[in-house]
Amino acid sequence: MGYWGDSLLTAFELILGFDREVRMAVWTSVYTSSCSIVIAALFGVPFGLWLGLKRFRGRQLLIALLNTLMAMPTVVVGLLLFGLLSRQGPLGPLGLFTPLAMIAGQTVLATPIVANLVLAAVTGADRRIINTALTLGASRLQAAIQLLREIRFGVMAAVIAGFGRVIAEVGVAMMLGGNIRNSTRTMTTAIALETSKGEFAFGLALGIILLSVALIVNLFLNVLQQR
Amino acid sequence: MQPVISLKNIRVAQGENFSLSVDSLALQPQRIYALTGPNGSGKSTLLRVMALLISPQEGSIEFAGSDSNHLARQRQRVTLVEQSPYLFKGSVADNLNYGLKLRGIDSKERNSRIQSTLTIVGLERFEQRQAKELSSGEVQRVALARALVLKPELLLLDEPTANIDSNSMQAYEALLSGLSEYGVTVVFSTHDPSQSRRLGEEVLRIENGHLINGSRRELEESALNERNRVYGA
């Protein structure tokens, strides 16, 4: 069947046979990405909403900074957090090469994405929403919450886009997780390691799962963007 | 009788070219006021000031018997319906429920108020209709119902018939003329002098950001002259 054919066959056998190594890598990816996106949403959604509604000196600078953070290479985020979490760093007691360190890095990565996309949704929202809520007796905070309800699909799309980014990244997971088997090995770091060891079929199995996750995320995004 | 709202020495500056100036204005309870004036004269700004959406740089706004300076609580006594009202996503009932929930009204009372208000505006059985499915005339009436259901002391309508067809306009005017029966003071802005004559029990006139003092006849003549100037006699 040839190299590709044999590898694909083995990859599907690994997936359908629920191979333990594959399962662990998938679980670590999903677990760390889910935790980080929840934390990123808790910070990013209110921040994006606030930045979208408030007018103040330096706002454009803050938006430019947010855009820069959004485009920051994952290894740079990994590097900065490595410095903070290493034994000599200010957050040394939290420790490196743990799922917690990976979640911290992925949160830093996802928060600007969520905030930026929520900001875009707020900017594109109907300008009458806030005033309508105010004229019906809402406080400023209640009116802002009503705006969030009105743009809920945009907010969900922001969170899903952030999840897509962190589950597919390799730099933070590698630098802060250390690719430790059954602990911090994610789909992406396992692909990099196993392929370099010559285990192409194993890498392919995880690659197929990762692509499937990316496909599902994008299908969700498409559905939300059309609403 | 104590006025529903009193404005004194109000000054609002917006940019370099426009300012609103109202020395004194007191609106009596359960009256219908027509607010007339040319485009850009400050009608919408005055309505927004009364709705407490714009804070004037100078002057005071007082509601009858008000013992609270809490802005959101003050704002719950007045409701503004915009020229192109925005309906929240969801059903007509969701829209009417919004302000009632903010006021902590229980669901039984909410349902009863929604039913009776939809009957007033002629939209019985519209509760479950989705906002996005409504015509522009229906949107105006739902927006009016959403305001009326809150039983405001002061109802402000910014050119309520500007974007609806003539049939809907007649129905809306009939509705508007009966509103004072529900114990509400109404201020509606309009460009149409005949509409202000038909519906307004009192007439307010604003020109270049200044509220004009004068008898009803003088103010109506001024509105008519402006119309003739713009559209020809």
Query: Per the CB < 8 Å rule, is B88 touching A142?
Result: no
Write down the pLDDT at residue B230.
66
Residue B168's identity, in one-letter code, is S
Which residues lie closer than 8 Å to A161 by C-beta, 6 or more apart?
Answer: A113, A114, A117, A217, A221
Write down the pLDDT at residue B67.
58
Of A126, A136, A139, the CB nearest to B98: A136
CA distance B124 to B117: 9
Q: What is the mean pLDDT of chain A?
A: 91
Residue B207's identity, in one-letter code, is E
CA distance B151 to B171: 21
Write down the pLDDT at residue B142.
95
Query: Per the CB < 8 Å rule, is B72 touching A137?
Result: yes
In b/e form, how buried is each residue of B33-69, taking b as 16+ CB within 10 angstroms? bbbbbbeebbbbbbbbbbbbbbebeebebebbeeeee
ipTM of the complex: 0.87
Write down the pLDDT at residue B75.
83
Write down the pLDDT at residue B68.
57
Write down the pLDDT at residue B165.
78
Whether A4 has a pLDDT exceeding 80, the answer reads: yes
Query: Per the CB < 8 Å rule, is A137 touching B86?
Result: no
DSSP state of A198: T
Distance from CA of A163 to the nearest CA of B (A): 27
Distance from CA of A151 to the nearest CA of B (A): 10
CA distance A70 to A49: 17
Q: Classify the phi-psi angles of B52: left when phi > 0, otherwise alpha if psi is within -120 to 50, otherwise beta.
A: left
- Spacing of C-alpha B51 from chain mean position: 9
CA distance B224 to A83: 76
Distance from CA of A216 to the nearest CA of B (A): 27
Domains of chain A: 2-225 (1.10.3720.10)
Which residues lie closer than 8 Å to B19 by C-beta, 6 or more apart?
Answer: B11, B12, B13, B209
Q: Show residues of chain B in contact with A142, CB under 8 Å.
A: 72, 102
Given CB atoms, is A144 within the 8 Å cutoff of chain B?
no
What residues does B21 pair with on adjacent strands? B11, B210
**A27-46 confidence digits (pLDDT tens):** 999 999 999 999 999 999 99
Residue A26 · residue A209 · CB < 8 Å: yes
Of A135, A142, A150, the CB nearest to B51: A135
**A86-144 confidence digits (pLDDT tens):** 888 888 888 899 999 999 999 999 999 999 999 999 999 999 999 999 999 999 999 99
Name the token pair of B118: 């939809």
Whether A218 has a pLDDT exceeding 90, the answer reads: no
Residue A154's identity, in one-letter code, is G
Write down the pLDDT at residue B177.
85
- Per-10-residue mean pLDDT for chain B, 233 residues long? 88 80 91 90 92 90 73 84 94 97 95 94 92 91 94 93 79 84 90 84 89 74 71 60
Name the H helices within chain A: 2-16, 20-53, 59-70, 74-85, 99-124, 128-135, 140-150, 152-168, 171-172, 187-196, 200-225
* Average pLDDT estimate for A59-70: 94
Write down the pLDDT at residue A116.
96
How, if at all, do strands B32-36 and B202-207 pair? parallel
Residue B160 · residue B176 · CB < 8 Å: yes
Q: Is the dihedral of CA B212, B214, B215, B217 positive or negative?
A: negative
DSSP state of A116: H
Residue B1 · residue B60 · CB < 8 Å: no
Whether A198 has a pLDDT exceeding 80, the answer reads: yes
Alpha carbon separation from A162 to A134, A165, A184, B58 (Å, rounded) = 31, 5, 20, 47
Angle value at C-alpha A47, between B96 and A173, nearest 5 degrees: 125
Residue B54 · residue B22 · CB < 8 Å: no
Percent of chain A whose predicted confidence (pLDDT) is above 70: 99
State the first-to-last Cα distance of chain A, in angstroms, to the nearest integer.
45
In b/e form, how buried is each residue of B178-200, taking b as 16+ CB within 10 angstroms? ebbeeebbbbbbbbbbebbeebb
Q: For the whole model, what pTM was predicted?
A: 0.86
Query: Per the CB < 8 Å rule, is B150 touching A136?
Result: yes
Rg, chain A, Cα only: 20
CA distance B202 to A91: 70
Whether A148 has a pLDDT exceeding 80, the answer reads: yes
Task: Enter the CATH code of domain B5-85+154-231.
Answer: 3.40.50.300
Task: For A163-194, give the DSSP string.
Answer: HHHHHH--HHIIIIITT-TTTT--HHHHHHHH
State the first-to-last Cα distance of chain B, in angstroms, to the nearest integer.
40
CA distance B35 to B203: 6
Query: Per the CB < 8 Å rule, is B103 touching A137?
Result: yes
How, if at all, do strands B78-81 and B202-207 pair? unpaired
Write down the pLDDT at residue B69.
65
3-state secondary structure of B51: coil
